[in-house]
Structure 1
């Protein structure tokens, strides 16, 4: 099995499993609890296993995994147990994905799961604020999501993990938006052991609250559910689509331990060898993700599905940079040698790593690097095309628009398989009037302008991993490694996007050290004209502040859809 590296400008998706042939079937095991949709709490058996183990398909997003932290993930994988580096070995022979994402959580998922609105400059701006607990808004219901298309193609559809696209009404939850089953948290953050989101419990099976006899580290819990789902689907009569979205390594709501991990990960020698305490805990959280990926791989292998399953592994955005009062002097994440990080439009915020692996396609394109620009909105048409079910496609359009949709996504599947230059030439990153940020890539050039996230000038810098230096970079050489072509982390021509527009040549300067705005005014004007065209379809960013009626104290200590 192989995997091809992609160069993606995407918003979110870390791993998606797609069965590409019919599989045998199994009934859902129910150990206790009432039927889904009853609104009652469900109890669980020993070991944290949920009572209702209904059949599921999972896609797995790794939160805040930057290019640098992704490299760290794979390095850690090779130092850890054999089970965790199944996909790493296979990734060297498949399609590697160098990806770019949105700049935040809620803003990432819509581009993968739905066919998005008619413009990337839409109501879910990539760098806008995510949905906070108690805010009564979500991804608008008129948008058709990827699982709904997969259903049309004959797949059963399943989700495990973090949703974060609206939970104020039941109609916004995953099992009402195309997924046959949903196990996880409707919100975006939680405690990794108590499953609390601040003052309210927040773990669900569909519409039902899941209760447990004992606490399990949430990344392990999600991996266990993914394993159980694949085992059950191995006996099913139809193929499946699984969206598996662990929270890790996103921070916890636990104010005493914002980087929650488990001793079995933190105590590994490869993790204990890391000097900085924040980096050490961050690495332990990533080891849990590694183990979860290994569990998914082994479940696919043990079910005999390796040769008819395709896996996409990507991140949603770059790692968070140092902010005043957080993580001490050095942030746990690093996007080095890329500039910026989460909530910025520099490459460290929007360019992430990933791979595509599996199925019969590896013999065609395995072991290669796809370096052509790909926006996350391209994933939906690309995934649909990879199923080879043509009924949904309108192939008379160059951008492969799906029938009855308004996506601006491009189908890259044949380009990935053949290595030809991809179909995307213009990549809008963001147009956000509310927070004053705009960014776009056209060909080799990129324009960035607007405010820093939270007004912190740290966002305009490069964050070297703690303990490294020019003399001791501690970098792993791979075909996907970023080479700056200029001294790393050293600005040549200053860029202050809060004051003026910045222009970069990403082919010559992927680390954004040399602002060409003054030297290439004609190129700058061309990119600004593209932004003006996109801006014509701008919609104000959705944000509705907290509704007091959402208070879990009014709903038995649980976050529930309070506006039904």
Structure 2
């Protein structure tokens, strides 16, 4: 059976075959815990950073190895919340800045709104970053019954001071719609974890629960408490020590959440989904090696994300799914878990099954201008156009000198005067062997031949 079918069908499709069967047996639909982390490039693929919990949880159930998100946070989160591509929500260009009068369109149904209609309690902890310019833009106006977290991005992890790139700064930690001044001084990852535990302790287990945990880690500023930093005293660079400690803090947080699920009796009827919102940010020590590029780009290192599904409802263990999955697909998939049926799903850009193609970005419709920043993956192929971001490869900073076998690889050589790239991603996940030619290319040249000969994984 296809690994995606295992992931999407076994997690209720085969176990709770239909909504009617669930009701007839008196079973509660599964509790859903969705953990979204920021800018995590490293994840259960081998690293000097300690991630025992994530390694174990991912290895025990379903790893998503062809899982795509957007290269920055607001577009990725908007697609999770709506099941629609960002070209339909006006969020395809950038993040939502602190003083920008923009938010998730209030007329589009959100995932928590639909889950509440299905009988779920819905709670959010962590970073929203989908707008706050009007009351109807806030999390509790978009379907969540409670909210503790920040409304903007990149705030201080201890003081919760957030600045918009100018002299304008403010306190950004909110409980519901009000500032939570009294919680300043706590480390964000630990604070959010304690709030999750508080929700689990006070919730009625016989009511299905949707818990959206959007950790700000490992986004800058790179900050971590002392007990996590002590594990990395031997790493040479101070920023790298803080980055590694933040990743370990995420691992510790997920471990605490799973322990609480077990202790409070939720675990056996729960589905835990773990996802990064983008690739890692190399300038902030994030690592996507050996994928090309990073956060902010449409190279594989910017949009192929860490993701897994863990649930005791999945009886098959150790599955590695190569199926094509996009962050927007969680919207219909989780509604299917909940037994909710959309009366009209034609407005969605997602589905709870395998996509033959993923549109990663497109700015407008009509004639496709190749100068416009856009990306699409269809089956084995990936097409990029326009300025798709920094195309360097960034070796792991923890490896002195980087891996020797990649010493002579290209460094953005193919971005000069080019606006079209074509790759066979299944054979060449590193975006190296370009099948499109720019104005200065001689077709076919020896460089491209050599690159193609080395592209097979």
1:229 is matched with: 199
Aligned length: 407
Cα displacement (A) at 1:72: 5.9
Counterpart of 2:36 in structure 1 is: 61
Mapping of residues 485-504 of structure 1, within 5 Å: 490-491=409-410, 495-496=414-415, 499-504=418-423
Alignment counterpart, residue 130 of structure 2, candidates 165, 171, 176: 165
Q: Say which SS state the counterpart of residue 419 (structure 2) adopts.
A: coil
Identify if the C-alpha distance between structure 1 residues 431 and 7 changes in structure 2 by more than 3 Å, giving closer, same or farther: farther
**Which residue of the partner structure matches residue 281 of structure 1?**
242
1:366 maps to what in 2? 317
Within 1, Cα distance between the matches of 2:4 and 2:417?
A: 34
CA separation in 1, counterparts of 2:427 and 2:246? Answer: 34
Aligned to 2:211: 242
Structure-2 residue corresponding to 1:408: 349
Q: CA deviation at 1:429?
A: 1.0
Q: How has the CA–CA distance of structure 1 residues 147 and 377 changed in structure 2, closer, same or farther, with 3 Å as cutoff?
A: same
Deviation of 1:122 (Å) = 3.2
| Shift >4 Å, 4+ stretches | 4-8, 72-75, 469-473, 486-489
Q: Equivalent residues in 2 for 1:457-476 (5 A)?
A: 459-468=390-399
* Residue matched to 2:372: 436
> What is the 5 A alignment of 1:335-346?
335-346=288-299
Q: Distance in 1 between the 2:265 and 2:107 partners? A: 38
**Alignment match, 1:138:** 103
Q: 1:213 to 1:432 in 2, by over 3 A?
A: closer
Q: Match of 1:382?
A: 333
Instruction: Report deviation, 1:144.
Output: 0.7
8 Å Cα contact 1:5-1:94 kept in structure 2: no
Query: Cα gap change, 1:450/1:6 in structure 2, threshold over 3 Å: closer, same or farther?
Result: farther
**Kindly tell me: are residues 498 and 140 of structure 1, through their superposed partners in 2, closer, same or farther at Cα, counting changes over 3 Å?**
farther
Rounded to whole Å, the distance in 2 between the matches of 1:217 and 1:91 is 26
Candidates 239, 246, 251, aligned match of 1:290: 251
Equivalent position SS for 2:336: helix
On the 8 A contact 1:496/1:502 being kept in 2, the answer is no
CA spacing shift, 1:125–1:201, aligned 2, 3 Å:
closer
1:156 aligns with 2:104: no
Unaligned runs of 5+ in 2: 8-21, 164-168, 438-442, 445-457
Q: Deviations over 1:496-554 (max 9, x none)?
A: 1762311101111111111111479xxxxxxxxxxxxxxxxxxxxxxxxxxxxxxxxxx
> Could you tell me whether the CA contact under 8 Å between 1:378 and 1:410 is conserved in 2?
yes
Q: How does 1:25-104 map to 2 (within 5 A)?
A: 59-66=34-41, 68=42, 71=45, 75-78=49-52, 85=53, 87-98=54-65, 99-104=67-72
Q: Deviations over 1:15-55 (max 9, x none)?
A: xxxxx9539xxxxxxxxxxxxxxxxxxxxxxxxxxxxxxxx
Q: What is the CA deviation profile of residues 311-361 of structure 1, one whole-angstrom value per residue up to 9, with x for unaligned ones? A: 000101111133xxxxxxxx411211000111111000000111101142x
> How far is 1:121 from its partner?
3.3
Q: RMSD between aligned alpha carbons?
A: 3.0
Structure 2 counterpart SS, 1:491: coil
The aligned residue for residue 15 of structure 2 is none
8 Å contact kept, 2:4–2:323: no
* Aligned CA distance change for structure 1 residues 175 and 296 (closer, same or farther; 3 Å): same
- What residue number does 1:45 align with? none
Partner Cα separation in structure 2 for residue 489 and residue 6 of structure 1? 40
* Contact 1:437/1:449 (<8 A) preserved: yes
Residue by residue, what CA displacement relative to the aligned partner does 1:128-176 show, whole Å, maximum 9, x if unpaired?
2211112111111111110011111111001000000011111100111
CA distance in 2, matches of 1:316, 1:136: 23
Identify if the C-alpha distance between structure 1 residues 73 and 221 changes in structure 2 by more than 3 Å, giving closer, same or farther. Answer: farther
C-alpha spacing 1:183/1:73, structure 2 compared with 1 (3 Å) = farther
Say if 1:5 and 1:368, in contact at 8 Å, map to a contact too: no
2:260 counterpart (293, 299, 303): 299
Task: Tell me how far apart the structure 1 counterparts of residues 6 and 428 of structure 2 sit (CA, whole Å).
Answer: 16
Equivalent residues of 1:309, 1:358 under 8 A apart: yes
Counterpart residue number, 1:542: none
Are the counterparts in 2 of residues 150 and 157 from structure 1 also a CA contact under 8 Å?
A: yes
Structure 1 residue 462, shift from structure 2 partner: 0.1
Gaps of 5+ in 1: 9-19, 24-55, 79-84, 253-258, 323-330, 394-401, 413-422, 454-458, 474-485, 521-564
